[in-house]
Structure 1
Amino acid sequence: MPRAPGRFRVGCSGWQYLHWKVSFYPRDLAVGLFLEHYASVFETVEVNNSFYRLPEASTFEAWKERVPSDFLFAVKASRYLTHMKKLKGPEEPLSRFFERARSLGRKLGPVLYQLPPRWPKNIDRLEEFLAALPKRRRHAVEFREPSWYAEDTYRALEQAGITLCLHDLHGSEAPKRFVGPFVYVRFHGSGKKYGGRYPDSAVGEWAERLAGQVRRGRDVYAYFNNDWGGHAPRDAVRLREAIERRLGVDDPA
């Protein structure tokens, strides 16, 4: 029996950007309505500021009430866990994170764990961390140090049911290898970090890859982090439309 296709969602890494006015947000739109406008265009967003400071449960609750019922928030875990503790003793920071993030209810999507750029592979530490993750949630790990891209890393992720986050970052691109039960991709900029417009060729190549994963039954989450110049929302729409064309659908549902 053929596998049912997955669902894909494309959005941006954050929405609270004043420099998106005119290029994405109407000039006279109040900052307090940015999320509502964003959610009228996209079905998902990646919350990045949680990496620096974990929002209160009441903040997550307020965000939940401002978006449609099928909207999803991907949330980036705190740097306290990933960069300061380097995944050691994860139980307490994970408990604190989910105690607040669960206020999003059914609108809580994947949780992203971005590891430090100068921390080489420690497979034992990784396996201990993966074992501590809540099983009913979706998790993705983004590596920034090349030694992590190895077979034992991929095997540990697969066995734990955790996804390898693919990223396109100038000077540090992840291998284009799909590992885990779903797909998670971050686009950090074309030609420079956090800026630049992705060329049509790159958008087309990624659309082809991601449409193929959707056909194989994997859900796809893709986020653009090239916010400078307002490129992120425009590139996100371009990728979404390119995937839709390849799947022959008008709506990514």
Structure 2
Amino acid sequence: MDGHRIRVGTASWTDPSLIQCKRFYPPGCTSAEGRLRYYADKFPLVEVDSSYYALPSARNAHAWVERTPDDFAFNLKAFRLFTGHQTPAKALPKDVQQALAGHFAVKKNLYYKDTPAEIRDLLWHRFENAVRPLREAGKLRALHFQFAPWVTRSARAQDHILECQRRLAGYHLAVEFRHRSWFEGDAAGDTLAFERAHDLTHVVVDEPQGFENSIPTVWAVTSPKLAILRLHGRNAATWNIGGEAASDRFNYDYSDAELGALVAPLRETASLAGETHAIFNNNYGDQGQRNAATLQALLDGA
């Protein structure tokens, strides 16, 4: 891996709205294998987001390794239960659903704090086993922990982050917070110091401002291994809309001027990290892919 490289990519390559828009994949490119091979020919990086909604599988990870070039890189989102999100029964493996039938008979969702210790151990084991092929192939850069908006700054939350790190010894973790308490006033310095002390990658975000569940864009490098900029768009009107389609929340098309303004801070960040990622999560239609291609061209021109 060449030092100080900036990789640009998107969050997911199979979002339903991307496929439905028919503007990125060429006609006839309809198989899972074909789509990933085509995507990997255009970009050197992708973030796997399906692993948030359900546990990933080693079989898929092996396929992803085989379908991408040797120098291709993956980041993979952590399973929703591990990041404090509500987890419905359908997101869990069948045997775990059965083991927790009593819980789901009275409650709609499961949270990590309510999960029996033996079930926690089982889920962590299965998650690690599933992502291991990517690490063994040298293609996994980070496991991305995007914590729930109600995970506020506290010693308890920090302890949980360190538990996640212990559970995944040998893997590199990136941390994205979604409650402003982590970066309000003096808290920002403390949060970054915590991440530096434990070699956690601080995820720089570009997102709508002024909400409890948004944080400012804090350009900082907390791990010499990896820096990440994650771009959610700037559509304040859709930031907190309900519904199942995540792409509706991130419906935003960055202008060339907005993307151009990111080149300098990305270059500065890249001078402090072995590798830097810019990941577009504005996954409505082909917005992310178009914006990623533009940013890559701007970086190449710079």
Is TM-score (shorter-chain normalized) higher than 0.5? yes
Does 2:30 align with 1:30?
yes
Alignment match of 1:183 (pick from 214, 217, 227): 227
Q: Which has the larger radius of gyration?
A: 2
Matched, 1:197 2:253: yes
Q: What SS does the corresponding residue of 1:227 show, helix, strand or coil? A: coil
Give the aligned length.
243
What is the RMSD computed on CA atoms of the aligned residues?
Answer: 2.3
Alignment of 1:44-59 (within 5 A): 44-59=45-60
When residues 128 and 49 of structure 1 are mapped into structure 2, their CA distance, relative to the original with a 3 A threshold, is: closer
> 1:76 aligned to 2:77?
yes
Structure-2-length-normalised TM-score: 0.73
Identity %: 29
The equivalent of 1:165 in structure 2 is 203
Q: Could you list the runs of 5+ residues in structure 2 that have no partner in the other structure?
A: 85-110, 239-248
Once the 2 structures are TM-superposed, how far is the Cα of residue 124 of structure 1 from its aligned partner?
Answer: 4.0
The reply on whether 1:156 has 2:194 as its aligned counterpart is yes
Residue matched to 2:276: 220
The 2-side partners of 1:207 and 1:91 are apart by: 42
Aligned match of 1:110: 142
User: In structure 2, how many angstroms separate the alpha carbons of the residues matched to 1:128 and 1:77?
Assistant: 14
Q: Residues 73 and 5 of structure 1: is their aligned pair in 2 closer, same or farther, counting only changes over 3 Å?
A: closer
Please report the TM-score for the alignment, with normalisation by the length of structure 1. Answer: 0.87
Consecutive aligned runs of 4 or more in structure 1 exceeding 6 Å deviation:
88-91
Partner of 2:245: none
Alpha-carbon separation, structure 1, partners of 2:160 and 2:276: 26
- Residues 221 and 272 in structure 2, CA contact (< 8 A), matched pair in contact too: no
Post-superposition Cα deviations, 1:38-72, rounded to whole Å, max 9, x if no partner, equal 00001110000100101211111111111111111
Q: CA deviation at 1:179?
A: 3.4
In structure 1, distance between residues paired with 2:252 and 2:161:
35
Contact 2:173-2:201 within 8 A present in 1 as well: yes
Q: Are residue 239 (structure 1) and residue 281 (structure 2) matched?
A: no
Kept in 1, the 8 Å contact 2:11–2:49? The answer is yes
Asked if the contact 2:179–2:215 (Cα under 8 Å) also holds between the matched residues in 1, the reply is no
Residue 96 (structure 1) aligned with residue 130 (structure 2): no
Gaps spanning 5+ residues in structure 1: where? 247-253
* 3-state SS in 1 of match to 2:299: helix
- The equivalent position to 1:12 in structure 2, one of 10, 13, 23, is 10
Distance 2:259 2:251 in 1: 15
- CA–CA distance in 2 between the matches of 1:165 and 1:199? 22
Q: 1:142, 1:164 within 8 Å by CA — same for their partners in 2?
A: yes
The more displaced of 150-159 and 69-78 is 150-159
Structure 1 residues 188, 160: CA separation in 2 closer, same or farther (over 3 Å shift)?
A: same
> Does 2:98 correspond to 1:62?
no
